[in-house]
Amino acid sequence: MSAQIIDGKRIAGEIREEIKREAESLSTKGVRPGLAVVLVGEDPASQVYVRNKAKACEELGFYSEVHRLSAETTQEELLSLIARLNAQADINGILVQLPLPKHIEEKAVIDAIAVEKDVDGFHPVSVGNLLIGDDALQPCTPSGVIELLKRTGNEPAGKHAVVIGRSNIVGKPVSILLLREHATVTICHSRTPDLPAVVRGADIVVAAVGVPKLVKGDWVKPGAVVIDVGVNRLPDGKLCGDVDYEDVAPVAGWITPVPGGVGPMTITMLMLNTLKSAKRAHG
Ligand code: GUN
């Protein structure tokens, strides 16, 4: 038996169709969701991400603004752009592409984004709301992981979920979301003793550490759901995840490929957050 593949591209496509229909119905009320994406500097990977975000907006009929600023932009200049976008009625979501150049303090920038437009879910108030269980905007990759589970019939309720990684962007928030979905959650990291033994106890494994092919077949309980958030580039230029796919697929019940698993969900959830924010802004 080999694992069933969780097709993130197909599921993301389904959600985008749902978003598109909602956006069309909003447009009859004169409401058009708007996203502002801010890129500072010329990081090549960031340029691709930003282009894809603008393209997704176009496909869904959203309004979008892309602000490309030079690497020499000062923190004050960036903060004043954010203040302007915070006040702009046609903008419902603001995303500042990370990483930022070293002379700009990331926290000051994230803190400056109006919470109701924080479509990344990185603002401390958004994080607090996530923890408390409010209906706040949720960070995109973690909420994409939850959608993949639910839309393949793998409800987290009552399951043991093991999350490998404790980053602010994925590990911590996905753990909280799994807890909110009534899973029993174990968070593992570089100091966890006997990681394979902990992972072996999991019904759901979420790998988000950035170590290529870390999770092996004999770490995984037969039939477990394995979600691979890792995106690592190998010396030969190929992408691979944090899960050794060839080794794990024969053991797992469900598995996400890399690419084509979690990746396509992230921008889709960003679009969903922008739509939610637009609906809230217009009552
Ligand atoms: N850079 C890499 N991933 C992300 C993300 O999810 N949001 C932002 N703002 N920057 C990123």
Residue-wise pLDDT tens digits, 193-228? 999 999 999 999 999 999 999 999 999 999 999 999
Last residue of a domain, one of 114, 147, 171: 114
CATH number, residue 170: 3.40.50.720
Residue to mutate, 141, 143, 169, ligand 1, most ligand atoms under 8 Å from C-beta: 169
User: Domain containing 229: what range?
Assistant: 139-263
The whole-number pLDDT of residue 134 equals 85
Please report whether residue 10 resides in a domain: no
Residue 148 lies in a domain: yes
Burial class (CB in 10 A: 0-12, 13-18, 19+), 194: exposed
Cis peptide before 99 (omega within 30 of 0): yes
Note whether 108 and 143 are same-domain residues.
no
Q: Is 78 part of a structural domain of the chain?
A: yes
Q: Rounded to the nearest whole angstrom, what is the distance from the C-alpha of residue 158 to the centroid of ligand 1?
A: 31
In a domain, 62, yes or no: yes
The answer to whether residues 219 and 258 belong to one domain is yes
Task: Please report whether residue 128 resides in a domain.
Answer: no
Q: What ipTM describes this predicted complex? A: 0.93
Catalytic residue positions? 53, 97, 120
**Which residue, by CA, sits nearest to atom 1 of ligand 1?**
98
Question: Are 191 and 99 members of one domain?
Answer: no
Going by C-beta distance under 8 Å and a sequence separation of 6 or more, which residues neighbour residue 85? 36, 38, 65, 91, 94, 117
Distance 53 CA to ligand 1 centre (A): 11
Give yes or no: residues 108 and 149 share one domain: no
- 227 and 144 within one domain: yes
Query: How much is the pTM?
Result: 0.97
**Residue 149 and residue 99 share a domain:** no
Is 105 part of any domain? yes
Judge if 155 and 250 occupy the same domain.
yes
pLDDT at 1: 67
Domain count, the chain: 2
Ligand 1, CB within 6 Å, residue ranges: 95-98, 120, 140
Same domain? 146 vs 259:
yes
Q: Is residue 252 part of a domain?
A: yes
244-268 per-position pLDDT tens digit: 999 999 999 999 999 999 999 999 9
pLDDT score at 136: 86
* 156 in the same domain as 248: yes
Domain presence at residue 258 = yes
**Residue 231, annotated as binding a ligand:** yes
Q: Are residues 150 and 244 in the same domain?
A: yes
Q: What is the position in ligand 1's atom list of the atom closest to the CA of 270? A: 6
Ranges under pLDDT 50 in the chain: none
Domain's final residue, options 114, 148, 167: 114
Give the atom of ligand 1 at the shortest distance from the alpha carbon of 98: 10
- The domain boundary, picked from 79, 114, 149, lies at 114
Tell me: is residue 151 an annotated ligand-binding position.
no
Write the single-letter amino acid at 39: L
165 is in an annotated binding site: yes
